[in-house]
Amino acid sequence: MRWTVLSSDLLVFFPAALWFVWAYIKLGVGISGEERREGWMWLLAMVLSSPCLVLIDHGHFQCNCISLGLTLGAIAGVLSRNELVAAALCTLAINHKQGRKLLQDC
């Protein structure tokens, strides 16, 4: 795995995953206080060890973790009712993907 993939995971995807888990647990729809304390680690582990991310992205494409992190950050922004940040992150996720395509076509 390239160092750029690891650094993009550390700088984009992991913080977005932490923010998503925090926003989701804070929203707490249908869960009790004890489940909130125990469930956040399982949820974070599921998000970070997604088979799609580990097998496909890190094994083949090696750049989608940036787009996934930006998208996950946008979802966390919606959950935490921060619509401007969510809109900016969603726009960055879409433009990152399209920008990579344009650079590959040139």
**Mind giving me the DSSP string for 17-73?**
HHHHHHHHHHH-TT--HHHHHHHHHHHHHHHHT-HIIIIIIIIII--HHHHHHHHHH
User: For the chain, what is the mean pLDDT?
Assistant: 79
Residue 34, pLDDT > 90, answer: no
Q: Give pLDDT, residue 42.
A: 79
Round to whole Å and give the CA distance between 26 and 61. 33
Number of domains making up the chain: 1
Q: Please give the model's pTM, rounded to 2 decimal places.
A: 0.75
- pLDDT interval class at 7 (50, 70, 90): confident
The Cβ-side half-sphere exposure at 44, using a 13 Å CA radius, reads: 17
- Please give the residue range of the domain that contains residue 47: 3-105
User: For 64-104, how does the pLDDT look when each residue is reduced to its tens digit (9 = 90+)?
Assistant: 788 888 999 999 999 999 999 999 999 998 888 676 565 66
